[in-house]
Chain A
Amino acid sequence: MLGLNRQDTALLIIVAVLTLLAPFILNPFPEGSGLATLNAGYPDLMQRFVIYGIFAIGFNILFGLTGYLSFGHAAFLGVGSYAAVWMFKLIGMQVIPAVLFSMAISAILALGIGYVSLRRSGIYFSILTLAFAQMCYNLAYSVLGNPNSRFNLTNGETGLQLTLDDPRILGVQRTPDGGIPVPNFFGIEMRDSYDLHLGDWVFTFSGGYYFAAAVMLIAFYIAIRIFRSPFGLMLRGVKSNQTRLYYTGINARPYTLAAFVISGTYAGLAGGLLACMDPLAGAERMQWTASGEVVLMTILGGAGTLIGPVLGAGFIKYFENIFSKINDNVLHGWFAFLPDGLEDFMVTLVHPFVGKGWHLTLGILFMLVVIFLPGGLVEGGQRILGLFRRRKAPPPGPDPEHHPKPTPHVAE
């Protein structure tokens, strides 16, 4: 289907079903129950899952395929956001031009940064991209963000936001009740949502989420096509052996540059979508920590795999948004069934790992995953699946035809 083989079609369908049903899947606990804190099915977080998923998918096209580790991808995310907010300010609140403009601007920036940085490889490349991104961040924070200067492109620390007196030449300056209009997709406002009550459960369907999810599915589909294409094969060749590629009549530079621009465009798309969901662009989006975050997402999920980066993105965003909100109150609620002394003990025990300690849990998880699952979360999934299969189908004789792939080699 859609030019994909059976396996990839199955993957795409599974991902599509999961994203469509995300409001159900992410809200497994009934409202009002103690565990409802762990629910992630509210619009903002669901939007973040898919948007950072796009960011990570794009990053993986560069890093997973070519092995070039960029430490400056946040610059494209940030520029994408600024571009989208400027479109909202100047043109109107329709999201399509905003998103397209984000992609165009970040593609241009990626072309420039990529052209220069790709002259070097390995860690030299990483540091070049880092340097460019940090420059963008610092400029956005200070020189380009001074409200008193004529070149206030970013509004500095506060972040670029909409105001009532923006021109919005093709849209309305203010809504009938005098407020700032909301980004919309042909009338569907990104903030629209609809609640479904099923017994004690509540499921929220958000317009913004489904818009972002649709974009993510398209982005994911394109990524699959790229992975399976001759172009993707060349990129994997770059990662595997550039010398051989060179002596096989292929110039690796335009391939890597194309991959860099594509992945920068993905980042810009993600940044633009972030701005569509919430029309404010802050400079922190471009800081090295944000670049590092997408690196971590990709490696955590499984670099070079199709679905890994999306899993990694979801994982990190879940911790950031859910674990950070578990305070002692919530913990007492969880352990209320225990006798008092034991309850307090459990709360004290769990306390350092949640709420303000969510960083600690995340750090420990990074270490555990990389130590025990060298292929990232995807490998974890494969192992579980493997266990399951083995149990289901006890040795019916080896079948090399169907398991031709050797386990990850350790050749070096």
Chain B
Amino acid sequence: MDAIILQTLNGLDKGSAYALIALGLTIIFGTLGVVNFAHGALFMLGAFCAVVFNRLLSLSYITIDPTQTDFLGNPLKVETPYVIGWFGPEAGQAIIDWSVPLSILLVIPVMGLLGLAMERGLIRYFYRRPHADQILVTFGLAIVLQEIVKYFFGANPIPTPAPPAMAGGADVGMLLGFPENAIVYPVWRLFYTFFAAVVIAAVFGFLQFTTFGMVVRAGMADRETVQLLGIDINRRFAVMFAIAAIVAGLAGAMYAPINSPNYHMGMDFLVLSFVVVVVGGMGSLPGAVAAGFLLGILEAYASLDAVKQILPSIDQIIIYIVAIVILLTRPRGLMGRKGVMEE
């Protein structure tokens, strides 16, 4: 029982990441009709926004401490972050410690602008091109983006810790009446699930309750009619691309403490997120979210030792098996719309 609860929690937080990435991808599919292979790179850039924000806050001035030496025996250069200089050691350190959640301040403008620039500068020229061309150009873009990151940050993962207050494990089981240590789950991951839920709710709310969102939804359903009504749907779609980029960026930034950012983390997620989107059904936002959580939870259950004893390595292929079964029984995934990307 406790194992099931643990894996459910685990599935929820895995699913959160899948759902957030898939949500953005589906927005881009559904509104722009573009296969965006650079979406993983956007996730990665989000994570590096957290790294950059951490580095910005940790910008330091250097003093030489003659009493200590470095590895070659020279006097040690001591670095003190400016924020500590300005706000004193405690407040300054607290700001640095909370850099990951605070990096939202950086992620939203940076990713938003980047998304707009990408859409206006490149993607919009590919709306009418075959999907194959879209794949090639966005894949090329993804490589370029990740090589640029590698050039500046190297290939090694960069530790980006969660705030100390959220770094450890929470004994969830104690709240439910289980014995100690039965269900311990990292606070940050619980927070991640919560955060994902908020972001997903915000995106749906935006689409559901604003005029802008209504026009976009109408455009997703029937682009031509909306254009006939004299609405400049393209400009709105550009904004949707930016929103998709922000969602991917937020997902990446908050993921940084779970998975130390490295330049190829986007590619690791790319294939999986496509599977999630397609299992959810092309063009369906609720489908993407549902598929994200479904696959996350199934993956978590498949890694239960009891399951692996019977079916070795099932955890490595469960997602693909589920994808195949769902696509064969439901032709357009869980909630796909007819005619979207079926050619």
B141's partner among A143, A362, A367 (CB-CB below 8 A) is A367
Interface residue? A364 (CB, 8 A) = yes
Interface residue? B147 (CB, 8 A) = yes
Interface residue? B201 (CB, 8 A) = no
Q: Which residues of B contact A303 (CB under 8 A)?
A: 132
Q: Are A374 and B139 in contact (CB under 8 A)?
A: no
The closest CB in chain A to the CB of B271 belongs to A288
The closest CB in chain B to the CB of A300 belongs to B136
Interface residue? A383 (CB, 8 A) = no
Q: Which residues of A contact B148 (CB under 8 A)?
A: 360
At the interface with chain B, which of A122-130, A167-175, A187-195?
A122-130
B342's partner among A119, A124, A364 (CB-CB below 8 A) is A124
B327's partner among A63, A128, A289 (CB-CB below 8 A) is A128
Q: Are B341 and A123 in contact (CB under 8 A)?
A: yes
Q: Are B271 and A130 in contact (CB under 8 A)?
A: yes
**Total number of residue pairs linking A and B with CB closer than 8 Å:** 127
The closest CB in chain A to the CB of B125 belongs to A371
| Bound CA span A288–B273, Å | 13
**Given A122-B343, A127-B323, A374 contacting B143 (CB threshold 8 A):** no
Q: Which residues of B contact A300 (CB under 8 A)?
A: 136
Interface residue? A132 (CB, 8 A) = yes
B324's partner among A116, A122, A123, A362 (CB-CB below 8 A) is A116
The closest CB in chain A to the CB of B141 belongs to A367
Q: Which residues of B contact A363 (CB under 8 A)?
A: 139-144, 147
Q: Are B327 and A138 in contact (CB under 8 A)?
A: no
Q: Are B137 and A124 in contact (CB under 8 A)?
A: no
Interface residue? A134 (CB, 8 A) = yes
Which residue of B274, B313, B320, B324 has the most chain A CB atoms within 10 A of its CB atom?
B320
**Given A122-B343, A131-B323, A370 contacting B136 (CB threshold 8 A):** yes
Q: Which residues of A contact B139 (CB under 8 A)?
A: 292, 296, 363, 366
Q: Are A132 and B324 in contact (CB under 8 A)?
A: yes
Task: Give B38-78 interface residues, CB cut-off 8 Å to A.
Answer: none
Q: Are B313 and A366 in contact (CB under 8 A)?
A: no
Q: Are A360 and B128 in contact (CB under 8 A)?
A: no
Taking residues whose C-beta sits less than 8 angstroms from the other chain, chain A's interface range is 35 or more
Q: Are A124 and B331 in contact (CB under 8 A)?
A: yes
| Bound CA span A363–B151, Å | 14
Q: Are A124 and B333 in contact (CB under 8 A)?
A: yes
**Contact string, B318-332, partner A, CB cutoff 8 A, digits 1/0?**
011101100110011
Q: Which residues of B contact A360 (CB under 8 A)?
A: 143-144, 147-148, 151
Q: Are B133 and A127 in contact (CB under 8 A)?
A: no
The closest CB in chain A to the CB of B311 belongs to A143
Interface residue? B208 (CB, 8 A) = no
Interface residue? A69 (CB, 8 A) = yes
| Bound CA span A367–B331, Å | 33
| Bound CA span A366–B139, Å | 8
Q: Are B282 and A123 in contact (CB under 8 A)?
A: yes
Q: Which residues of B contact A367 (CB under 8 A)?
A: 122, 137, 140-141, 144
Q: Which residues of B contact A374 (CB under 8 A)?
A: 129, 133
The closest CB in chain B to the CB of A287 belongs to B271
Q: Are A120 and B327 in contact (CB under 8 A)?
A: yes
Q: Are B275 and A127 in contact (CB under 8 A)?
A: yes
Q: Are A370 and B133 in contact (CB under 8 A)?
A: yes
Instruction: Report the minimum CB–CB distance from B290 to chain A (whole Å).
Output: 16
Interface residue? B80 (CB, 8 A) = no
**Contact string, A393-411, partner B, CB cutoff 8 A, digits 1/0?**
0000000000000000010
Interface residue? A200 (CB, 8 A) = no
The closest CB in chain A to the CB of B316 belongs to A138
Interface residue? A412 (CB, 8 A) = yes
**Given A131-B275, A303-B132, A364 contacting B327 (CB threshold 8 A):** no
B313's partner among A134, A143, A296, A357 (CB-CB below 8 A) is A143
**Given A122-B343, A292-B139, A69 contacting B147 (CB threshold 8 A):** no
**Given A363-B141, A370-B137, A142 contacting B129 (CB threshold 8 A):** no
| Bound CA span A67–B131, Å | 10
**Given A121-B342, A123-B341, A124-B278, A295 contacting B324 (CB threshold 8 A):** no
Q: Are B140 and A364 in contact (CB under 8 A)?
A: yes
Interface residue? A225 (CB, 8 A) = no
Q: Are A359 and B274 in contact (CB under 8 A)?
A: no
| Bound CA span A374–B133, Å | 7
Q: Are B278 and A127 in contact (CB under 8 A)?
A: yes
Interface residue? B317 (CB, 8 A) = yes
**Given A69-B131, A370-B136, A119 contacting B328 (CB threshold 8 A):** yes
Interface residue? A135 (CB, 8 A) = yes
| Bound CA span A293–B131, Å | 16
Instruction: Report the minimum CB–CB distance from B276 to chain A (whole Å).
Output: 10
Q: Which residues of B contact A292 (CB under 8 A)?
A: 139
Q: Are B271 and A366 in contact (CB under 8 A)?
A: no
Interface residue? A224 (CB, 8 A) = no
Instruction: Report the minimum CB–CB distance from A171 to chain B (whole Å).
Output: 34
Which residue of A122, A295, A412 has the most chain B CB atoms within 10 A of its CB atom?
A122
Instruction: Report the minimum CB–CB distance from A398 to chain B (whole Å).
Output: 29
| Bound CA span A132–B275, Å | 12
Q: Are B320 and A132 in contact (CB under 8 A)?
A: yes
**Given A67-B343, A122-B342, A295 contacting B135 (CB threshold 8 A):** yes
Q: Which residues of B contact A38 (CB under 8 A)?
A: none
Q: Are B317 and A138 in contact (CB under 8 A)?
A: yes
| Bound CA span A130–B273, Å | 12
| Bound CA span A151–B188, Å | 41
Which residue of A124, A363, A370, A410 has the most chain B CB atoms within 10 A of its CB atom?
A124
Q: Are A364 and B341 in contact (CB under 8 A)?
A: no
Q: Are B321 and A135 in contact (CB under 8 A)?
A: yes
Interface residue? B312 (CB, 8 A) = yes
Q: Are A299 and B132 in contact (CB under 8 A)?
A: yes
| Bound CA span A301–B136, Å | 11
Interface residue? A139 (CB, 8 A) = yes
Interface residue? A333 (CB, 8 A) = no
Q: Given A121-B343, A131-B324, A366-B137, list of 7 further CB < 8 A pairs? A: A124-B327, A127-B274, A127-B278, A128-B323, A300-B136, A366-B139, A410-B128
Jot down 11 A-B pairs with beta carbons below 8 A, ordered by A.
Answer: A116-B328, A123-B282, A127-B327, A130-B275, A135-B317, A288-B271, A289-B267, A359-B143, A363-B140, A367-B140, A367-B141
Q: Pick the 6 closest A-B CB pairs, nearest first.
A: A366-B140, A363-B143, A360-B147, A122-B342, A131-B320, A367-B140
Chain B residues within 8 Å of A, Cβ to Cβ: 35, 122, 125, 128-129, 131-133, 135-137, 139-144, 146-148, 151, 267, 271, 274-275, 278-279, 282, 312-313, 316-317, 319-321, 323-324, 327-328, 331-333, 341-343
